[in-house]
């Protein structure tokens, strides 16, 4: 595609993240504006967003209330340091998020991204054990096929070989649970698969081999998004909670894509009724408008760390832009929109429509599995022989040409429409994807 802007722009200087740069630059795709469910390319084509930007624009694009709040804040207070000084909006926001959080996860620490939230949560877990005199608890447990961002902590607990292979030994003392996904037992499950709760029991083995007194925390995504919507088997999260509690190990839910409505509730913890000790979030907190993330910790975790350091800085951690005024204002307006437009409820109501539309694609060519939970779903394709990822890559390009934005990882097509989607949008998404699959070789 030779777009108007492509001819006018020099594409060379920008080193694009998680992108095959040469391939992109030989065939660029540019989005110039967006509104609601739609993005508009620089050559004026409308593209229906079936992945909420990148799992983040839950309130749709360019919501006027959020845009206005950001503009107003930028003209009132552009920046205030977060170290030793605050500003009113960030306190209001923290109070509001704490009120939405399950149980006593009432201490809110702000970051600027999911990766920062994950590294922050891991550091809080280590600092907590140290503060309570258990400094031998330094091991962290992640999971195969987990994605926790790209910081050294998140990479280490993450379970994706490609993301780790170029960066040396990473954090020491990290262990991994097995993935929750098993094609043989779970293919074409609607919602949570029945098979697989026992996979959580591997934590018992890890505990036995290493001794509980060395393990600080277990971190998992309630459902793994980035590696292809791997939905937790019925009873799995409950079992992880039970085992971690028994051994004094903190449980961290990485809710960077599940928080703020994706599962029809504020948090996956609420939806699954399993309460971890720490929650990481980002993305939907501002509907993707201004970078922001947060870690929610149990009040008792914060109290332990704070009480251990009277009259001094308790946690030597934070970012120049923690709780940035623009992000805070964007988040406040986003939460207003979620509430006033009842978007979490809408997502819950739309989920069965989404499930049916997705599973209706089961007989399309190359389809190996279809999975879904809430407003997240995946269509996994059989890979082309000797060319892993190529078939889904072609599907991505073809879908974009046909006016549909999807996301692919390996040979998995992921879908996560904004929560403002209507049944008609879901129909269009499924129809277009069906046409794309029909045309794939
Ligand atoms: N954790 C999870 C579960 C994610 O899905 C992501 C991003 O998709 C991250 C962490 C990293 O977030 P960010 O890209 O904002 O650093």
3-state secondary structure 58-109: CCCECCHHHHHHHHHHHHHCCCCCCCCCCCHHHHHHHHHHHHHCCCCCCEEE
Taking residues 90-116, report their average pLDDT.
Answer: 98
Question: How many whole angstroms from 114 Cα to the centroid of ligand 1?
Answer: 4
From the CA of 258, give the closest atom in ligand 1.
3
State pLDDT tens for residues 355-396. 999 999 999 999 999 999 999 999 999 999 999 999 999 999
Q: Which residues pair with 415 in a beta bridge?
A: 377
Q: Are 189 and 307 part of one and the same domain?
A: yes
State pLDDT tens for residues 145-173. 999 999 999 999 999 999 999 999 999 99
Q: Which domain holds residue 247?
A: 67-340
> Is the confidence at residue 3, as pLDDT, over 70?
no
Give the binding-site residues of ligand 1, using a 6 Å CB cut-off: 55, 113-115, 118, 147-149, 221, 225-226, 254, 256-257, 282
From the CA of 154, give the closest atom in ligand 1.
10
State pLDDT tens for residues 223-245. 999 999 999 999 999 999 999 99
Q: Are 394 and 315 part of one and the same domain?
A: no
| Mean pLDDT score across all residues of the chain | 97
Taking residues 134-149, report their average pLDDT.
Answer: 98
Q: Are 327 and 346 part of one and the same domain?
A: no
Q: Are 161 and 210 part of one and the same domain?
A: yes
Q: Structurally, how many domains does the chain consist of?
A: 2
| Structural domain ending residue among the three candidates 278, 309, 340 | 340
pLDDT at 183: 98
Q: Are 265 and 309 part of one and the same domain?
A: yes
Q: Are 351 and 431 part of one and the same domain?
A: yes
| Structural domain ending residue among the three candidates 310, 340, 370 | 340
Q: Are 334 and 351 part of one and the same domain?
A: no
Read off the pLDDT band of 2 (50, 70, 90). Answer: low
From the CA of 115, give the closest atom in ligand 1.
16
> Of the residues 148, 258, 288, which should be mutated to test ligand 1's pocket, given the most ligand atoms within 8 Å of the CB?
148
* Beta carbons of 343 and 351 less than 8 angstroms apart: no
Burial grade of 65 (CB within 10 A; 0-12, 13-18, 19 or more): middle
CA distance linking residue 22 with residue 28, whole number of Å: 10
CA distance linking residue 93 with residue 296, whole number of Å: 12
pTM exceeds 0.75, yes or no: yes
Question: How many whole angstroms from 283 Cα to the centroid of ligand 1?
Answer: 8
Q: Are 114 and 247 part of one and the same domain?
A: yes
State pLDDT tens for residues 30-79. 999 999 999 999 999 999 999 999 999 999 999 999 999 999 999 999 99
Q: What is the CATH number of the domain that holds 391?
A: 3.90.1150.10
Q: Are 157 and 200 part of one and the same domain?
A: yes
Taking residues 265-291, report their average pLDDT.
Answer: 98
pLDDT at 245: 98
pLDDT at 256: 98
Cα distances (angstroms) measured from residue 370 to each of 212, 379, 389: 37, 5, 17
Question: How many whole angstroms from 307 Cα to the centroid of ligand 1?
Answer: 31
Q: What is the CATH number of the domain that holds 242?
A: 3.40.640.10
């Amino acid at each position: 595609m030779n777009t108007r802007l492509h001819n006018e722009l020099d594409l060379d200087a920008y080193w694009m993240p998680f992108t095959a740069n040469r391939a992109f630059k030989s065939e660029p795709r540019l989005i110039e504006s967006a509104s609601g469910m739609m993005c508009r390319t620089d050559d004026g084509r409308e593209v229906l967003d079936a992945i909420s930007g990148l799992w983040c624009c839950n309130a749709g694009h360019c919501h006027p209330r959020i845009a206005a709040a950001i503009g107003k804040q930028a003209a009132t207070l552009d920046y205030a340091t977060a170290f030793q000084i605050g500003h009113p909006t960030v306190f209001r926001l923290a109070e509001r998020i704490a009120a939405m959080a399950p149980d006593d996860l009432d201490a809110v620490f702000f970051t600027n991204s999911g990766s920062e939230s994950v590294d922050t949560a891991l550091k809080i877990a280590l600092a907590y054990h140290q503060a309570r005199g258990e400094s031998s608890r330094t091991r962290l447990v992640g999971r195969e096929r987990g994605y926790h961002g790209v910081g050294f902590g998140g990479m280490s607990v993450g379970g994706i070989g490609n993301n780790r292979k170029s960066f040396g030994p990473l954090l020491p003392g990290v262990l991994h649970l097995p993935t929750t996904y098993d094609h043989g037992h779970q293919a074409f499950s609607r919602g949570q698969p029945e098979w697989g709760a026992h996979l959580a029991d591997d934590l018992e083995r890890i505990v036995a081999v290493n001794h509980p007194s060395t393990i600080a925390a277990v971190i998992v995504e309630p459902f793994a998004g980035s590696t292809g919507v791997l939905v937790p088997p019925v009873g799995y999260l409950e079992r992880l909670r039970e085992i971690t509690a028994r051994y004094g190990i903190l449980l961290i839910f990485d809710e960077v894509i599940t928080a703020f409505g994706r599962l029809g509730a504020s948090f996956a913890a609420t939806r699954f009724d399993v309460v971890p000790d720490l929650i990481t979030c980002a993305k939907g907190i501002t509907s993707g408008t201004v970078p922001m993330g947060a870690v929610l910790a149990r009040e008792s975790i914060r109290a332990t760390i704070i009480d251990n350091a009277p009259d001094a800085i308790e946690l030597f951690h934070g970012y120049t832009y923690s709780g940035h005024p623009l992000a805070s204002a964007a988040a406040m307006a986003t939460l207003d929109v979620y509430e006033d437009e009842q978007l979490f409820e809408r997502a819950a109501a739309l989920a069965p429509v989404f499930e049916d539309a997705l599973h209706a694609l089961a007989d399309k060519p190359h389809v190996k599995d279809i999975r879904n939970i809430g407003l997240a779903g995946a269509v996994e394709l059989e890979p082309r022989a000797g060319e892993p990822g190529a078939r889904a890559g072609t599907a991505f390009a073809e879908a974009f040409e046909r006016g549909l934005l999807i996301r692919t990882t390996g040979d998995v097509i992921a879908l996560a429409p904004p929560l403002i989607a209507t049944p008609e949008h879901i129909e269009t998404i499924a129809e277009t994807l069906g046409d794309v699959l029909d045309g794939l070789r």
